Structure formats: structure tokens, C-alpha cells
């Protein structure tokens, strides 16, 4: 069964016809053409697919695309560009919080949601805010440092 919908992503509305069983991740990547959101575990365990829906972090691998109709979806592409990076993106690079980069978009989206709700988080609050995101490369210290520094810059 298909469903006609308007999907608002990063300020642009996409008229789409999608199968009701498709997840938001596949629609973002295959229909909208935004590949910054990554497919990792496909089971809500790694956070590589994290996007914001109305400002709240969701695992797009388990979120049906039709659920996003009438809502605003923000992906990593909506935060900043290579020429005009969001402070979280810039600090992740500066602090060395990016290694292979696979988890990075999801980490940044979770950090954005956290800092939107809490512009001055403690180290523990940052760890809790990122608890749905796994990184197999960095050991997390540089990621935590980057988010702490970004919070200062954003404030």
C-alpha cells in the first residue's frame, strides 16, 4: 500500500508517494537523495541513522516515513555545509572527534538535540544525551570534548 505525502526536510518540502512500510532512513537516502544519514545496525542500536523530527532525535531506521508527514525533519545536511559548518560540526573536526566518520552524523544530530534543550550540559548529561549513539573508533573522549566546546560557542 502506498501513501502520498509531503515530507519536509531541512526546510524543503518533497511531494512523495511511499510504501507505508518504508522507514524514514530509506526515503531520505533513496527518494530525497540525502545520504549523510547512515544505515548502521538497522535495529535502533547504533544511532548512525539519527535525525531530528520536530527537533527531537529519532532513529530513522525504525521510524516510518509516513509518520514524518506534516513534521519537520532535520538531517546532518540541514545543520551546515563544508563552507559554513555548524559549531558542533566544526568542534568535532577540531577536537579529533571524527575518525572513520560513520557515526558522526548521528552523533552530531543527537548533540544538536541535547544542546537545543540544554545549552549548558554537564559531562554526565552529554554522555546521557549521546547514549543512543555508538562509536567504534574514537573512545568518546574527543567527542565529549567537542560537544562541550560547541556548547560554549553556541551559548
Identical fold for domains 2-78 and 87-154, yes or no, is no
48 pLDDT above the threshold of 90: yes
Q: How many helices (H) and strands (E) does the chain have?
A: 5, 5
pLDDT tens across 55-110, in order?
999 999 999 999 999 999 999 999 999 999 999 999 999 999 998 999 999 999 99
pLDDT classification of 150: cutoffs 50, 70, 90: very high
Q: Where are the beta strands (DSSP E) in the chain?
A: 2-9, 12-19, 50-53, 56-59, 72-74
pLDDT for the residue 23: 98
* Cα–Cα distance measured from residue 18 to residue 80, given in angstroms and rounded to the nearest whole number: 28
Task: Please give the model's pTM, rounded to 2 decimal places.
Answer: 0.95
Q: Taking residues 44-65, report their average pLDDT.
A: 97
Does residue 138 carry a pLDDT above 90? no
Alpha-carbon distance of 27 to 33, in angstroms, equals 8
Would you state the pLDDT for residue 139? 81
| Superfamily for the 87-154 domain | [2Fe-2S]-binding domain (1.10.150.120)
The rounded percent of the chain whose pLDDT value lies above 70 is 100
pLDDT over threshold 90, residue 18: yes
What pLDDT score does 50 carry? 98
Provide the mean pLDDT of the chain: 96
Percent of the chain as helix, strand, coil, to the nearest 5: 40, 20, 45
Q: What are the sequence ranges of the domains in the chain?
A: 2-78, 87-154
Contacts of 37 (CB under 8 A, 6+ apart): 25, 28, 29, 48, 49, 50, 51, 60, 75, 76, 105, 106
The pLDDT value recorded for residue 42 is 84
2-78 belongs to CATH 3.10.20.30: yes
Amino acid at each position: 500500500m502506498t501513501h502520498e505525502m509531503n515530507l519536509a526536510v531541512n526546510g524543503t518540502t518533497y511531494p512523495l508517494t511511499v510504501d507505508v512500510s518504508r522507514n524514514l532512513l530509506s526515503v531520505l537516502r533513496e527518494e530525497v537523495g540525502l545520504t549523510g544519514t547512515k544505515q548502521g545496525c538497522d535495529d535502533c542500536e547504533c544511532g548512525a541513522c539519527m535525525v531530528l523530527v520536530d527537533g527531537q532525535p529519532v532513529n530513522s531506521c525504525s521510524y516510518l516515513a509516513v509518520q514524518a508527514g506534516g513534521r519537520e525533519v532535520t538531517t546532518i545536511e540541514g545543520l551546515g555545509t563544508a563552507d559554513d559548518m555548524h559549531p558542533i560540526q566544526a568542534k568535532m573536526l577540531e577536537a579529533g572527534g571524527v575518525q572513520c566518520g560513520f557515526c558522526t552524523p548521528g552523533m552530531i544530530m543527537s548533540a544538536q538535540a541535547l544542546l537545543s534543550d540544554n545549552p549548558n550540559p554537564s559531562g554526565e548529561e552529554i554522555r546521557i544525551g549521546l547514549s543512543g549513539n555508538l562509536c567504534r573508533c574514537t573512545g568518546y573522549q574527543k567527542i565529549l570534548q567537542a560537544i562541550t566546546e560547541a556548547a560554549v560557542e553556541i551559548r
